[in-house]
Amino acid sequence: MTRPGQGLAFTKASAAGVYNFLLGGKNWTAIDREAALAVIGTSPQAPEVAKENFRFAGRVAAWAVAEYGIRQVFDIGVGLVVGIGIDGVVGSVPLDSVETCVRNVDPGAVVIAYDNDEVVLAHARALRENYGHVLRGDVTDLDSIFDHPDLHSHPKLAGRIDLSKPAVVVLAAVLHFVDDPAAVMAGLRDRLAPGSVVVVSHATKSRTSQERVSGMTRAYDRASRPIIFRDEEEIAALADGWDLAPPGLVDVQLWSPDGSYEGEVHETVRVVGMAAVLPDHQPERDHTAGGC
Ligand SMILES: C[S@@+](CC[C@H](N)C(=O)[O-])C[C@H]1O[C@@H](n2cnc3c(N)ncnc32)[C@H](O)[C@@H]1O
């Protein structure tokens, strides 16, 4: 399998490619597939959980937009999963992306995706002749996200981003590739306006066998960046200083504000998620339509 983008050497699996394989997408290399099959060999439900993680990201982002009337969404570590973008291009994974879910509740909301993987950026560029819908940005360098020149200069974005107002930041399945996720959350606390919502999902080693966690960690050793399974307490602590929206930190299959969404949870691989709200803000409006 080849990917768009000349000159990229695929000597290591990419986190995005492995995840795309698990999701049933088409944008992975033989090396990605090998790593993904090693993950599945250890944890057979990994594809199912990956899909639930994907749905979680869209569902919670749409909920945050609807609940708080927020109109700017930053999806950081978006992966090879492009929805209907600012230029109207549809992508490859057969699930509703964060962007699609947000647009379902607020068609006028701005959704901006970032990734720091060259493969993801090349893929996005190939989908659009002149403009990669996915901006280059690293979650460990928040300047690269919030001071990205396109926010001010791109005709589709200029004048639409206002960081003095609340934003939704989606960090779905990305912080487990980061050494110091607490520093990321601290940076977001400093950067974002009160009332902003950060949506986090993270692979956990809690209530999963150590053998499986080690197997999955080893499988990701073939990838360009290692995966770090953290325990639930560590992940929950990332929201210190934030208000956790109900139901708090739960398996991604169980996250919904009213308990109405209930997917199957598997002991073989667990990803937990939460929505953390930056305090000192009153909800602006009660918007209940649509979503995913
Ligand atoms: C497992 S995929 C998750 C995709 C999507 N967020 C989702 O949950 O459906 C992880 C993505 O995070 C990206 N990533 C990893 N570390 C990153 C970093 N420091 N900054 C930005 N993106 C990063 C990877 O390149 C990959 O595309």
**DSSP secondary structure string for all residues of 42-99:** H-TTHHHHHHHHHHHHHHHHHHHHHHHT--EEEEES--S---S-TT----SSSS--HH
pLDDT value at position 89? 44
pTM for the predicted model, two decimal places: 0.91
Decide if 214 is inside a domain: no
Q: Does 158 or 49 have the greater pLDDT score?
A: 49
Contact 89, 128 (CB under 8 A): yes
Pairing state between β 250-251 and 270-277: antiparallel
Residue 130 pLDDT level (bands cut at 50, 70, 90): very low
Decide if 178 is inside a domain: yes
The closest residue, in CA terms, to atom 9 on ligand 1 is 54
Given a cut of 50, is residue 87 above it in pLDDT?
no
Decide if 77 is inside a domain: yes
Contact 230, 205 (CB under 8 A): yes
**Ligand 1 center to residue 76 CA distance, Å?**
7
Of 94-108, 122-136, 203-217, 246-260, which range is least confident?
A: 122-136
| For range 29-36, the mean pLDDT | 94
**Ligand 1 center to residue 153 CA distance, Å?**
25
pLDDT value at position 5? 41
Of 117-121, 145-149, 203-207, which range is least confident?
A: 117-121
| For range 137-152, the mean pLDDT | 96
**Ligand 1 center to residue 282 CA distance, Å?**
31
Q: Among the atoms of ligand 1, which is closest to the Cα of residue 120?
A: 27
The domain total for the chain is 1
**Could you give the C-alpha distances from 58 to 100, 158, 203, 266, 275, in angstroms and in order?**
8, 24, 17, 21, 12
**Ligand 1 center to residue 229 CA distance, Å?**
15
Decide if 109 is inside a domain: yes
The closest residue, in CA terms, to atom 14 on ligand 1 is 77
Given a cut of 70, is residue 35 above it in pLDDT?
yes
Given a cut of 90, is residue 280 above it in pLDDT?
no
Decide if 125 is inside a domain: yes
pLDDT value at position 284? 54
Share of the chain above pLDDT 90, in %: 71
Q: Does 233 or 9 have the greater pLDDT score?
A: 233
The closest residue, in CA terms, to atom 12 on ligand 1 is 77
Decide if 41 is inside a domain: no
Q: Does 146 or 125 have the greater pLDDT score?
A: 146
The closest residue, in CA terms, to atom 3 on ligand 1 is 173
Q: Which domain covers residue 135, as residue numbers?
A: 47-207+229-277
Ligand 1, residues 115, 121, 252, 292: which to mutate, most atoms within 8 A of Cβ? Answer: 115
Question: Who lines ligand 1 at CB under 6 A?
Answer: 15-16, 19, 53-54, 57, 76-79, 81, 115-117, 120, 138-140, 172-174, 177-178
Decide if 255 is inside a domain: yes
Whichever domain contains 178, its CATH number is 3.40.50.150
Of 124-133, 188-197, 268-277, which range is least confident?
A: 124-133
Decide if 252 is inside a domain: yes
Which token pair is 220?
């990701």
